[in-house]
Amino acid sequence: MDFGLVLQTDPPASRVISLMKRAERNGFTHGWTFDSAVLWQEPFVVYSQILANTTSLKVGPMVTNPGTRTWEVTASTFATLNDMYGNRTVCGIGRGDSAMRVAGRKPNTLARLGEAIEVIRDLAEGREAEVDGQRLRLPWVRDGKLPVWMAAYGPKALALTGRKADGFILQLADPFLTEWMVKAVRNAAAEAGRDPDSVTICVAAPAYVGDDLAHAREQCRWFGGMVGNHVADLVSRYGDHSGMVPEALTEYIKGREGYDYSHHGRAGNPSTDFVPDEIVDRFCLLGPPEAHIEKLRALRDLGVDQFAVYDMHDAQETTIDAYGAEIIPALRD
């Protein structure tokens, strides 16, 4: 199993770079950041410095979207980083939650997302693609490689992931839901004539290492609120008892009364009072190293290839070091 570190690009960028260097020293293979132009600093600028200050770490957004940048700009940016640092980027992409809503726009449609996945990958790898009716190619790309991993929860998005994406990003670490969603992605891949095992599975969730569970829960409760935004979209689209989405995912948002994006992805988010302890425990990894190892082994057995640690809490260095000293070695044995 591979491991990634997920951060927000809060200033100063030097701290983000420092934490990513620490992660690489501790055995992490991927460095991810949020991508929301209003809420945080521009991630692609920071990626350049992360790549320059590490040797093998792969970087990318978790996640970008097809609406805040034109597709040829997104592809060119990835391709430039790859040309400079040797194909060390991954494009995590989704419909766009905070990036679009904070700017007063609606998230992208799945049809637009599916088209963008193919166009961005083709352009970044040097192939011709059509953008707004115009055939384009980046003539300077040589031997470019850009895996595109899609974030998804609902049945239509999971099916699209299986049909078109190189990887699947699932932003929660509940084994029951992981099994259900991984199966949906792999089935869609098989139905599209693809090798289901060719789709990389990445589970991303907060991890907090320590014995004080009450404190760890409060530091990670924000995650249930973030996931709740996507779940609320699913409920509005499919209904909460449609059978299309597991009730294990939809039941907890009944007490949700809105969401303030100014606290998005941050410990102490006041918009997450509706998230019960049970959801925090199910969606996140909390407790001593042994508890993390046990849950990660269960996820690995379900086909998870990478666990990406959301490290937005008050124990960032401690968590990175604990993973490097005890948890990552146990999962690689």
What DSSP character marks residue 107?
Answer: P
| DSSP assignment of 126-194 | T--EEETTEEE--TT--S----EEEE--SHHHHHHHHHH-SEEEE----HHHHHHHHHHHHHHHHHTTS
Task: Tell me what the mean pLDDT of segment 252-257 comes to.
Answer: 71
> Is 315 strand, coil or helix?
coil
Q: What's the mean per-residue pLDDT of the chain?
A: 92
pTM of the model: 0.92
Q: What are phi and psi of 310, to 5 degrees?
A: -70, 115
Give 320's pLDDT tier (boundaries 50, 70, 90). Answer: very high
Task: Tell me what the mean pLDDT of segment 324-331 comes to.
Answer: 98
Give 231's pLDDT tier (boundaries 50, 70, 90). Answer: confident
pLDDT at residue 258 in the model? 67
Percent of the chain having pLDDT more than 70?
A: 92
Task: Tell me what the mean pLDDT of segment 124-144 comes to.
Answer: 97
Q: Is the pLDDT of residue 197 over 80?
A: yes
> Is 93 strand, coil or helix?
strand
pLDDT at residue 252 in the model? 77
What DSSP character marks residue 68?
Answer: S
Give 238's pLDDT tier (boundaries 50, 70, 90). Answer: low
> Is 96 strand, coil or helix?
coil
Q: Is the pLDDT of residue 242 over 80?
A: no
Cis before 63 (ω within 30)? yes
Task: Tell me what the mean pLDDT of segment 247-275 comes to.
Answer: 74
Taking alpha carbons only, the member of 308, 262, 313, 305 closest to residue 63 is 308
* Sign of the CA dihedral running 114, 158, 285, 27: negative
- Tell me the two tokens of residue 67: 């609406």
pLDDT at residue 236 in the model? 66
Looking up tokens 């420092």 gives 18
107 vs 280, which has greater pLDDT? 280
pLDDT at residue 241 in the model? 55
Looking up tokens 């470019």 gives 144
Q: Is the pLDDT of residue 60 over 70?
A: yes
How buried is residue 206: exposed, middle or buried, by Cβ count under 10 Å (0-12/13-18/19+)? Answer: buried
